[in-house]
Structures are given as C-alpha cells and as structure tokens.
Structure 1
Amino acid sequence: MSQSDRLLLGVITGAKGIRGELKVKSFTEFPEDIAAYGPLENKTGETTFDVSLVGMSKSQPVIRIKGVTDRNQAEALKGQELYVPRDRLPEIEEEDAFYHTDLVGLDVINEDGNRFGRILRLNDFGGGDILEIVPEGKGKKSSVLVPFTKEMVPVVDLEKGHIVVNLPDDFFEVPDKEPAESSDGSR
C-alpha cells in the first residue's frame, strides 16, 4: 500500500499513568475519533496497533494499545505516528472540505495564472489551517505561510492539481515599527 493510500491520524506524545495508556496528538476532526477507524499502523505499515480510547487529557485523547501494559512500554512509543488506510475513512461530502494529504504537493498559482510555488504542508497552530508554501525557485527554508481561507485561497482544484491564491499586494511587506509611547503619552 502506497503512502497516498494511508492517512496520518495522530502521533503519540507520551505516556499517561503507569498502566500503559498513551496521550495522542490527534489530526482527526474530532480528537476522540482517533480510535474510530479500526487498527492503526506505523509509518511503514509493518506494525499494526489495536487501539481503544480510554479518555481525554487536556483535549488530547488517551488511548490503550493492545499489548502495552506498563509505562516503560508506553514511553518507548513516544513519537510513533499512527496511520489508517484511506479506504476506512468516510468520503468528504462538503464542497470546501479536504483531507490535508490531498493538498500537500499541489501547485500554487496566483490569480493572474503565474505559478507561485507548491504546498509543502498544512499547519494548525490553534487559529485555523495555514498553508506552508515553497515559492517557485526557492528551497524549503524559504517557505511562506498563507492562511487557508476562502479569501486567500478562492480555488482548490484537486483534479487539476492546483490551488489559486489571492494575496494582497502588501502581503509580504513588514510594516515599519511604530515608536513606543512613553508613560506620559509622548513618543
């Protein structure tokens, strides 16, 4: 099974308690759904994890993996990525909803039709999805972040393999720093 046939659902962030429970950073729409799709796999697909949800801890799911019975075994799994075969996930019915994996690697085109770059990854730092884009002719260290909103990304065309961005002319300009006011109101 190729990587495109599998989706990353979460990453184990650490042990919880002494009986082998694990905290997971979930990438599912509802974090508690991490165990809803059946057995999960490691990145290579060679190891399968029989996962059950046992609770939540600070908005992170707490899971149990069959065979993991103590804290030492749980700690050894920290950083383990958890994948699911794509065919176990529901089809997306909403027009403006996408699996992140379908967007990674798409070409990015400006509204004038010129190629801007390619999507490296999607991030969510708490304020919504952000596209990380590598501009045309630049390396990964030169990536830029663009909010994944309808205003900034008016077109997503999976069939054509690209998105269209509508960036304001001053999008990449850094505003001049205003002088700080003193406590008496003067500058």
Structure 2
Amino acid sequence: MKLQDEFPVDHHLATVYRYGAASCGILLLVFAGLGFADALSPFTTSGDTIAGMTSNVALSVISTVVGLALLVGAFIGGNFASTLNMWVGGLFVLSGFAHIFVLDRPANILDFGMTNVIFSFVMGLLIATFGMYGRVSSKLSPDNPYFRRRHSERTATEPTEAELGAAAGPLPLTGRDV
C-alpha cells in the first residue's frame, strides 16, 4: 500500500492541500502573464524586471505550465494535491540550487537573477510545506491516518486518548470546583 492510498479523500487536510496548490498556482500564473506581457524574446538574458525578478518568455512558459499543474492538483485535491505539492516544491528548491551555479554565465538561459533564486527557494519551501502538512511530523494526532499507518501495531492494541477519557467516566468534583 502506498502512503497516498491510505488517506481518506474527504479528510479535512485536503482543504489545506487544495488552497495551497491553488494560491501558489495563481501566483505563478500572474508572474507568467506579466512576463508574456513584457513581450521578450524566448531566451533573452537582458529583459526588464517583473515583480523584482528577471524573466523571459521561456521562464514564463515554464511558470505557466507549473501554475496550471498546481491548479489541476487543487481541482483534483486530496492525496494527489498533497503529492503534487511535495514534488513541485522539491523541484523548485532544486531549481534554486541549480541556478545558483549558472548566475552570470551563458548557461543561464532562463535569465535567473539572485532574486529569482531566492524566490525559487521560498516558493519551493512554501509549496512543499502545503504538501507535507499533516503528513510529516513527529507529533501527529492518533486520529490522523498517517499516524495510524505508521503505528498500526500500537494503535491496534492500545486505546486512544479519547477512548481512555470515555472509559474513565466523568471526573470527580473537588472542593475547588464547587
């Protein structure tokens, strides 16, 4: 069984995955639209800055594709959106590292500047965080499906905190409560 198969589609965390993917996708589409509006040549490395970052048509095309992919993930939702967010976030971070090495070199065909690299790191971490929310933590609640999967042997034999509270009954009143 894959990790994405065990998560119920209607779980409340799916909302976080959807909104995260949609908001980041819209932001990328706005950046791409501004890049297309500037009407640069596809691989120019001397264009104007857009929202403080350098751009060209090739970067605008890539931003459009990734933005649309995130919007599709938001539309589908659930585990797909979570997994897509983690992958896209990781790719953004890797892109940031790769472009650090090509700054001010002829291999910088996407016209990345240092602000683009920082944006790539920040956007990648943001998107990945939306994807990992509720899946990756050391303190998942016992009702979380990822917690149950990782601790199936423990949860099968031990009662949860809610079950312990219900079995104990109401707490006795003390003199301070009256």
Taking structure 1 as the reference length, the TM-score comes to 0.21
- Highest relative contact order (Cα 8 Å, sep 6+), 1 or 2? 2
TM-score between the two structures when normalised by the length of structure 2 = 0.21
**Which structure has the larger Rg over C-alpha atoms?**
2
More strand by share: 1
Larger relative helix fraction: 2
